[in-house]
Amino acid sequence: EKFEVLLVADRVELVEVNKILGKSGLNFRVIESTNPGIVPALNLGLANITSEFVARMDEDDLMMPRRLELQYQHMLRNKETSVVGGQLLLIDADDEVIGISGYRRRISKASFHVFESSPIAHPAAMFRRKAVEQIGGYRDFLPEDWDLWVRLSEYGPIENLTETVLRYRVHPNQLSREKMYAQQLGRQ
């Protein structure tokens, strides 16, 4: 299968990005987001993708070599699955492993686990584009990924592979999703 790389840029030097990606040999497009924030950038990306599946990733994380293959094959075999993730190796700024994730294998709409914590790592997600479009895309509700997973769990199961699919960079000043969610609930 052919993959297209779509980079939605809102804070990067586009000339530099084009130069780096141009050397990769990948089929890629760069779209500049003029609206600040993650939600407008995510929805802009969705509006410019035509593929059946979307694999998401952040700029500072590192994809494992077989991630796309493993997730793509899983989605083909499991037609009811709305989104699939996988396990993470947590890395620091120097690419040193500092931990591992422990995401549950399967979360269904009947499971309360989707409300305990985010059931899937957003940068490690592959989802069905049409499913996300049918539920209205991303909403400006923090955390936007957790909100998406809760709504997608109504569409079909959320699953995680047992394999490591991403090296996820942890920053010292990073605010965890759980803390952001707790803060939002507290404000409401």
What pLDDT, in 10s, does the model give residues 49-93? 989 999 998 888 999 999 999 999 999 999 999 999 999 999 999
pTM beyond 0.75: the answer is yes
Q: Using alpha carbons only, what angle is made at residue 62 by residues 115 and 144, rounded to the nearest 5 degrees?
A: 30
Residues of the chain with pLDDT under 70: 1-3, 10-26, 108-113, 115, 173-188
**Sequence-ordered strand ranges (E) for the chain:** 4-9, 27-32, 53-55, 62-63, 83-91, 97-100, 106-107, 126-128, 158-169
What's the confidence (pLDDT) of residue 99? 93
Where is 15: in which H helix or E strand?
Answer: helix 14-22
What's the confidence (pLDDT) of residue 1? 52
What's the confidence (pLDDT) of residue 126? 97
What's the confidence (pLDDT) of residue 184? 47
Instruction: Report which of 50, 49, 43 is spatially closest to residue 141, judged by C-alpha positions.
Output: 43
What's the confidence (pLDDT) of residue 46? 94
Contact yes or no for 185/108 (Cβ under 8 A): no
What's the confidence (pLDDT) of residue 116? 73
Instruction: Report which of 95, 84, 115, 104 is spatially closest to residue 170, judged by C-alpha positions.
Output: 95
What's the confidence (pLDDT) of residue 181? 46
